[in-house]
Amino acid sequence: MKPSVRRLLGWAVVLAIAVAGVRTLRQFPWEDTGGALLHTNLLLLTAALIVSFQSILAKGWAWQLLLRPVAPLSWWGAQRATLTGAAVTALSTGVVGEAARARSIVRQDAVPWNVAISSIVVLRLVEGIGFAIFLVVVPVFIDLPPALRVAQLVAAAVIGVGAVVLLVRGWEHITSRLPPRLRRGVEMLGTMGARHQLPGPVALGVANWVFQWTTYYLTIRATHITAPPEAALAALLVVNVAGLVAVTPGNIGVFQASVVAGLVPFGVPVQRAILAGLVLQAIQVLPVLAAATGMVGLRGLRQLRRQEAALVPDADVVEPDAAR
């Protein structure tokens, strides 16, 4: 697809979202929403905020464990980069936040650029495996509705495929036939994703999703919505599917629509579901922005947002001949 056509389609989507947003804003019961916000359970919201930060910590820790065999990174360095990337994601579209995470450890921790990018790819795969395990195990605690049972079956299939890939021998014979540059990259991915390396990051990946689910449930209850834990799980699933590619900064609008799509089937009124989506995104984004600004400053966040338009290394970042 030509860049001009892509831009045209992008603007068409933005315009459609803007029109729908204006219409929703005009019809939205702001007085009722203001009253509901004033009566939000602050104790539950505080708990949701704390749990939400635990999710970020789990992501950063899993990333640090994956990087350890190829580019030792401190626990704090991984947390700093993860928090910074989350803040940039809230201000940008696409994969700019992920690129900001990579640049942070390249600049401040001397991690080679290709290693940083490869580690994020592996981390995404590990988070996907963690989500699949989470969906397979969660019915032990709650009764999944039919729609989520389908997601559970897909998750089980993903786990099965992943197990086959890890158990099958002979990948070295295949990779040895690849061009040298590509072979080094595949070998580095294999080192980070080796069987003995995965248990810790995968366990943290599962914990990340448990923390996110808990954050959703606590926030929903804080807004005085009577809904079961299954509703929070459905909202979490829809939000993550709809947010695979951010089309607005922080997926604002898309996030709230996804929360509504997840909660309405459980009998939650649309207005209350929108309120829950607004509060949920606020406690996930505003504290992260505040913490990241405290670490790198507002100017630093702006620079990262501008610099990460493309996932390419700077001229002063030397790419090694082979992974360490």
Structure tokens at 40: 């939000």
pLDDT given for residue 57 in this prediction: 94
Is the pLDDT reported for residue 3 higher than 70?
no
In the structure, what pLDDT confidence band is assigned to residue 129 with cuts at 50, 70 and 90? confident
pLDDT given for residue 48 in this prediction: 94
Q: Does residue 314 lie in a domain region?
A: no
Q: Does residue 22 lie in a domain region?
A: no
Count of structural domains, the chain: 1
Residue 54: partners with Cβ closer than 8 Å, 6 or more residues away: 207, 211
Is the pLDDT reported for residue 17 higher than 90?
no
DSSP assignment string, 305-324: HHHTTS----TTSPPPSS--
DSSP assignment string, 46-108: HHHHHHHHHHHHHHHHHHHHHHTTTS---HHHHHHHHHHHHHHHHH-STTHHHHHHHHHHHHH
Q: Does residue 3 lie in a domain region?
A: no
For residues 254 and 242, the answer to whether their CB atoms sit within 8 Å is yes
In the structure, what pLDDT confidence band is assigned to residue 170 with cuts at 50, 70 and 90? low
Q: Does residue 294 lie in a domain region?
A: yes
* d(C-alpha 51, C-alpha 216), whole Å: 10
Q: Does residue 6 lie in a domain region?
A: no
Residue 161: domain span: 32-307
Top-confidence residue, 21 or 250: 250
Top-confidence residue, 228 or 156: 228
Is the pLDDT reported for residue 192 higher than 90?
no
Residue 120, amino acid: I
Is the pLDDT reported for residue 230 higher than 80?
yes
Is the pLDDT reported for residue 193 higher than 80?
no
Task: Give percent above pLDDT 70 in the chain.
Answer: 66
Q: Does residue 141 lie in a domain region?
A: yes
Is the pLDDT reported for residue 34 higher than 60?
no
* d(C-alpha 2, C-alpha 4), whole Å: 5
pTM attached to this predicted model: 0.75
Task: Give percent above pLDDT 90 in the chain.
Answer: 21
pLDDT given for residue 311 in this prediction: 44
Top-confidence residue, 309 or 194: 194
User: For the segment 54-105, what is each residue's pLDDT rounded down to a tens digit?
Assistant: 999 999 999 999 888 888 888 998 998 998 888 888 877 767 778 888 888 8
User: For the segment 92-126, what is each residue's pLDDT rounded down to a tens digit?
Assistant: 776 777 888 888 888 888 888 888 888 888 888 88
Q: Does residue 155 lie in a domain region?
A: yes
Is the pLDDT reported for residue 214 higher than 50?
yes
Q: Does residue 210 lie in a domain region?
A: yes
User: What is the largest distance, in Å, between two alpha-carbon atoms of the chain?
Assistant: 66
For residues 44 and 218, the answer to whether their CB atoms sit within 8 Å is yes
